[in-house]
A and B are shown apart, each in its own frame.
Chain A
Amino acid sequence: MSTRTTYREALREALREALREALQRDPRVFLMGEDVGRYGGTYAVSKGLLEAFGPERIRDTPLSELGFVGAGIGAALGGMRPIVEVMTVNFSLLALDPLINTAATLRHMSGGQFSVPLVLRMATGAGRQLAAQHSHSLEGWYAHIPGLKILAPATLEDARGMLWPALQDPDPVLIFEHAQLYNLEGELEEGVVVDIRSARVRRAGSDLTLVAYGGTLGKALAAAEQLAGEGINAEVIDLRVLRPLDDATLLASVCKTRRLLVVDEGWRSGSLAAEIIARVSEQAFFELDAPPARVCSAELPIPYAKHLEEAALPQVPAIVAVARTICR
């Protein structure tokens, strides 16, 4: 019989317990990043871990993303299992060189000799009035890169469960934690085991496939509830893994519902939403009863003012409105 634990501190606590478990299970695991130790983590995810595991394994770094992400890659090459935390995806751009030019390429460039078992965690997404240098959703950009695996936990279960399989992966894994989700509350079974290869149907439905991930999953589910009241039964798929995409789950759903709407906090042009629509169009064009559609962020840097920020992001009313259009 499974026990259920209430995470009062919510998703952030699930992430912390995942870190604690990894640090306890594998002496090669250590956490490194800006303010992960004495400060307790920018989002308080690693609070208390310094006291439990000491400064060698909960390692505060200087403001030096290029340096410590590169060092994380080197430590992975040297036999450790580093978890590197970058404060936000915007700051990760300072570490693009080691991530894209080295972590993603090394296995291939070396003819299969050097794998890079690095796990990189970072916050992503908007919604807290942090404006254009702290709010972007660039995970779709990273999902363009062969050699990387990209994860986006949207549930407590995935926040708790994705880290361990990510650490078992011999190649670099980037985990994007939507900043709006850290306070997500709920209950979770202990000993949860999840995979990091498949999308998951979070709500079964028959009339429309709503695809979302990370920060947009909750919005897609809320939209589905509203649509249900109007007689539209939407299926909601949580991508979970942004690279490689789980085409099979997407196609199975679309072949059943015959309609596709992708909700993506990334910008529309060149987005993950575009990729998903392309794949469905390529592989299931004649199964579709309506043109595939998407609700993405407006194409501008995220503004500070609350009403403008809200207007720039995918919101439930827009999802519902587009869903109605394609279900007519």
Chain B
Amino acid sequence: MSAPLPFPRELALRLLHDMVRIRRLEERAAELYGEGKIRGFLHLYIGEEAVAVGALHALAPDDAVVATYREHGHALIQGVSMQAIMAEMYGKQEGCSRGRGGSMHLFDAATRFFGGNAIVAGGLPLAVGLALAERMQGGSRIAACFFGEGAMAEGAFHEALNLAALWRLPVLFCCENNLYAMGTALEHSESQTDLCAKAASYKVPAQAVDGMDVVAVQQATAAAVQQVRGGGGPFFLEFKTYRFRAHSMFDPELYRDKAEVAKWKERGPIHNYSARLKALGLLDEAGFLALAADVDAEVEAAVAFAEAGSLEPVDDLLRDVHTPEGAS
């Protein structure tokens, strides 16, 4: 259980801190949803934090990231401010997408965060194209694409893997296998439930990883990134994880039983990792409380920022459908 960590204490604590940031941001967002401050769909990542945190901490800051509609965590860890994320969920023009996207469409050019894509598997071909552009321009940045296991039933998954492998493009395919595509379990949607076998059929190297263990995620991703950046072509990582909350705020969870959820919660990524840090003497209870207080302050500042934000004038309704002349 308490094997020494393969990286310095600073990163070890940073991983915990970032997982807690996602957790508290989303717990607060769920409360705000209940208050009617946030509307539309709100898909929580709670339970899956180790994946985004571990994987994104293995990428370079300027690598391109393409994510799904369950992307608050990815946006946050890629470097989008919690304030801009919260303001976006509030529909305020100070939001990271000026309030035009909402929870499902967080974007940020500065951190090369390409969304926030709410068509399942829609982001995969984009990542292929980003990687193609990078290689044609002689760069060394890679494109990391996050998607759920549900995306693997879509044609876009198969077309994207084929193109990336055929052209040996620097794409890191990150499958977040949380076992359910909304309410449909993997075995009810796939004839082949071995996801790595699917990727391998396109000659893409594939590896399954414990997605509840942030250390395992970070290490596996770092190794895959090295291979991808070194010209080895695409790589597929399957992170086995679990969504603790409902699919969205409208999901009565008829498709899974409470015992299963409880069993996965015992493997909660934050709980287990903080226990491990404590066992290793890298963290004590006071340290954890200080960390949590720090995060809570960040969350409350984000809420205050969103509350104080402004609504875009309706006169600007038609902006950003096309690029204004001279803007690009």
- Interface-located stretch among A97-105, A136-144, A199-207, A276-284: A97-105
B127: CB under 8 A from chain A? yes
Q: Distance in Å from the Cβ of A47 to the closest Cβ of chain B?
A: 23
Contact B125–A111 (Cβ < 8 Å): no
**CB 8 Å contact bits of A80-123 with B (1 = contact, 0 = none):** 10100000000000000110011000111111111101000000
B116: CB under 8 A from chain A? yes
A71 touching B320 in the complex, CB below 8 Å, given contacts A79-B137, A109-B100, A109-B101 = no
A113 touching B109 in the complex, CB below 8 Å, given contacts A67-B160, A74-B125, A78-B134 = yes
Contact A66–B133 (Cβ < 8 Å): no
Q: Which residues of A have CB within 8 Å of B319? A: 112
From B107, B122, B133, B163, name the one whose CB has the most chain A CB atoms within 10 angstroms: B133
B97: CB under 8 A from chain A? yes
Contact A64–B159 (Cβ < 8 Å): yes
B38: CB under 8 A from chain A? no
Contact A74–B126 (Cβ < 8 Å): yes
Task: Pick from A56, A64, A73: contact of B136, CB below 8 A.
Answer: A56
> In terms of DSSP, what is the predominant structure of the interface of chain B?
mixed
Counting contact residues on chain A (CB < 8 A from B), the size range is 35 or more
Counting contact residues on chain B (CB < 8 A from A), the size range is 35 or more
From B96, B107, B127, B162, name the one whose CB has the most chain A CB atoms within 10 angstroms: B107
**CB 8 Å contact bits of A277-309 with B (1 = contact, 0 = none):** 000000000000000000000000000000000
Task: Pick from B107, B122, B136: contact of A97, CB below 8 A.
Answer: B122
**CB 8 Å contact bits of B126-166 with A (1 = contact, 0 = none):** 11111111101100000100000000000110011011001
Q: Which residues of A have CB within 8 Å of B129? A: 70-78, 82
Distance in angstroms between the alpha carbons of A109 and B127 in the assembled complex: 18
Q: Which residues of A have CB within 8 Å of B126? A: 70-71, 73-74, 77, 98, 102
Contact A66–B107 (Cβ < 8 Å): no
Contact B156–A110 (Cβ < 8 Å): no
Q: Which residues of A have CB within 8 Å of B134? A: 78
Contact A67–B136 (Cβ < 8 Å): no
Task: Pick from B64, B98, B125: contact of A67, CB below 8 A.
Answer: B125
Closest 9 CB pairs of A and B: A74-B129, A70-B125, A78-B133, A67-B159, A111-B98, A110-B107, A71-B129, A170-B328, A170-B323
Chain B interface (Cβ within 8 Å of chain A)? 64, 95-101, 105, 107-109, 114-117, 119, 122, 124-134, 136-137, 143, 155-156, 159-160, 162-163, 166, 319-323, 327-328
